[in-house]
Copies of this chain bind each other. A is one copy, B any other.
Amino acid sequence: MSAPTREFTHLGRPRKLIDGLERITGRSRYAGDVQLPGMLYGRPVLSPYAHAAITSIDATAARAVPGVVAVLTAADLPTSGRIYTSRQTTTLAAGEVRYRGEPVALVLAESEAAATDGAAALLVEYDPLPVVADHSAALAPNAPVIWPQGAPKEADGADLTAAHAATTEGATVQRSGSPSNLHERKCYERGDVEAALRAAEVVIERTYRTPVVHQAYLEPHAAVAHYDALKGTLEIFTSTQGQFGVRDEVARLLGLPRSKVNVTTMTVGGAFGAKYGILEPLAAAASVAVGRPVRVTLTRTEDFLTTTPTPATEFRVRLGATRAGDITALDAAIFLDNGVYPFTLGGIVAMLFGGYYRFEHLRIEINEVLTNKPQSGAYRAPGAPQATFAIESTVDELAYTLGMDPLALRQRNAAGPADLTGEGEPWADMGLAECLEVAASHPLWVNRASECGPGEGVGLAIGGWPCGNTTAAALCRVDTDGTIRIHVGSVDISGTNTGFQLIAAEVLGVPPEQVEIVAGDTRSGPFAGPSGGSQITYAVGGAVAEAARAAKRQLLEMASQLFEASVEDIEIREGNAYVRGLPARAIPVAKLAETAQDKAGGPGPIVGEGRSAPEENAPGFVVHIAKVHVDAETGRVTPLRYVAIQDVGKVINPLLLEGQIHGGSAQGIGYGLYEAMRYDENGELLTATLMDYTMPRASELPPIEAVFVERPSPHGPFGARGVGEPPITAGAAALANAVRAASGARITETPLRDEVVWRAIHAV
């Protein structure tokens, strides 16, 4: 951790989570803790088949279970007949199930136990249908077509995943005229790739495969909905990253005015892209159907089966370069196994895959494929771990082929601000070069030869993420006791509220203790985009700073009157206003606020609003350096040391920043070494518990060193950039490159399981 900048009073100083004590003492309230009078408990009944016709549902026995109040199927819901498939939304299947775990019915009961018993007593008969279990099977000639009438269309309405939305701008899009499991094929192209590859002195050709990986948050999905027929209002308490998006989507699905739906976000126990709205429409529709509040909390296995993991991918890559180390051309066909509904992550995959380096000639073909799996969804930096693994393994291999220093090769070719991404758009301001420069002098890299014993190796990879820039508003109220209240509508998952506290304290010149963050629901909270796309500190933080500035102007004005001095001569430090150069006379902020508020004919209560709409995003780049040991006899990869260098723009709170980088790096190591959702050929999930789905624990993780690079973003508050997603992007690639260094074997699939590594080493 580098030393924080000293030009600021509060920014750059470590500060603990505002709600840390609540969290660690178990006092935080989650959606699953919400109890409403008359509330029913919902238990979904899931399909045991990945593809089948539902031939009958007999609820007689289920309804006879004591405490069971209702057994709802698709036809019982007010959402029946509406298209809401392509939005990561779990509802009830009608007529046919298309993935293992698809909910078929919802049993509502007076207790969780009664609901579970009721669900077990429900008799559903199925007629199994042919399954396409992966993208190869889906694209095989004469493969069964999942949606013979065409896949459900995207509906109008707010895009829940706007921060991650793929764009088809700059791409040639082909959509099949006849029914097919290839939902979309698009191609990003510039220059003349074929000619460039023919002219290249070196061509690296590899195929990479990554599996389905789950976000694996600690808290499974949970939502409570309460529809009040008298008022026509729907109250939702949920665990979500984006309450405004959930509100808009639920309102659309239920045909309610948005203004009648209020979403309150409870403490979120991890999300990582999966909590843009999954259970809420089902809970809400059930509440409307029965006229009582309904809570649905998934079990871990239900959560694995029905939610939206990151897609499995295949990258067929050709990379051309000169012997001198100038990369000239990139060609790839990329296949995304999106599961049962379109998710179209391909744009962003192309953007990153073809965006880390300056490629004059580029062609990226994206194949969005439908299969009998749950729909794919966002996963921390969605698509980036896959794209980064493919491009950074290839470039690393190029270095070996050329005999060049892998870092020097990257520095020679790395993209910079205004260079084109894989989609063909110019990058906004970004600090990849700065990260590479820090890496070049990092001891682990510099001394890697002497540092490594037998079977050990050091590898590195770059990674990046564009980060989002949704607009936001915030408010700043100053109470008569000096308490500064910052109102936001964003969801605090990673400590963003604590950052807002520091930003407001810095702007206003008060101690952070004096700042309270009031996070509103969708009815009372100023608009903010979802807590995804690493955008909250960047976008909402800017609004917070503006609101604090607006309030400060009013405080200075009041001080100016009381001091009989001009506004320009007044400063506020540590909660007190002074005339510059006259430190003896101080007026506390509390007194300024009280005077303003109390005075008839005066300015009135201090309140300021701030708005933020950054005109471009602020990409966050990283260089990760991993040291591993590879056991040639077993193929076991053990990470030994890990350095995460990241351009964060400006350090707001080093404590939580380090936490984000540690967490993201750990998740990237999990992605690279351990995690995979395995399906059999019938589409059955083989890893539906945390006993089977391997995640790293502390004992599986190396020491992680976070290194902050500060290239200020032009539009973020004090230059801050998004920081949440970049740390996951480079892990798999860095580890694979370390394995290459340690063992000589180039691994082309994740996770780097023992068997895979052993086979690569022994070429069998």
Contact = CB atoms under 8 A, between A and B. Distances in A.
A406 to B, nearest CB: 36
Interface string A529-543: 000000000000001
A37 B27 CA distance: 13
Interface stretch (A195-203, A388-396, A473-481, A674-682): A473-481
Given A25-B230, A258-B481, A475 B607 contact: yes
Contacts of A543: 604
A471 B604 CA distance: 6
A243 to B, nearest CB: 13
Given A479-B259, A483-B259, A523-B485, A604 B611 contact: yes
Interface stretch (A215-223, A415-423, A593-601): A593-601
A518 B480 CA distance: 22
B469 A600 contact: yes
A231, A475, A612 pick with most chain B CB within 10 angstroms: A475
A674 to B, nearest CB: 36
Question: How many protomers of this protein does the assembly include?
Answer: 2
A518 B526 CA distance: 12
A35, A230, A608 pick with most chain B CB within 10 angstroms: A230
Contacts of A598: 471
Interface string A448-481: 0000000000000000000001011101010111
Given A473-B607, A477-B473, A259 B35 contact: no
A609 B611 contact: no
Interface string A691-705: 000000000000000
A614 B483 CA distance: 24
A613 B602 contact: yes
6 contacts: A21-B231, A22-B231, A27-B228, A471-B597, A520-B524, A607-B609
B616 A600 contact: yes
A257 B482 CA distance: 11
Given A607-B475, A613-B604, A614-B600, A230 B523 contact: no
A516 B259 contact: yes
A480 B27 CA distance: 35
A516, A523, A524, A615 pick with most chain B CB within 10 angstroms: A524
Contacts of A604: 471-473, 543, 611-613
Contacts of A516: 259, 523
A603 interface: yes
A526 B478 CA distance: 10
A527 interface: yes
A410 interface: no
Interface string A603-637: 11101110111111000000000000000000000
Interface in A223-237: 228, 230-231
A318 interface: no
Nearest to A599: B613
A292 to B, nearest CB: 15
Contact of A477 (B479, B526, B612, B616): B526
A552 interface: no
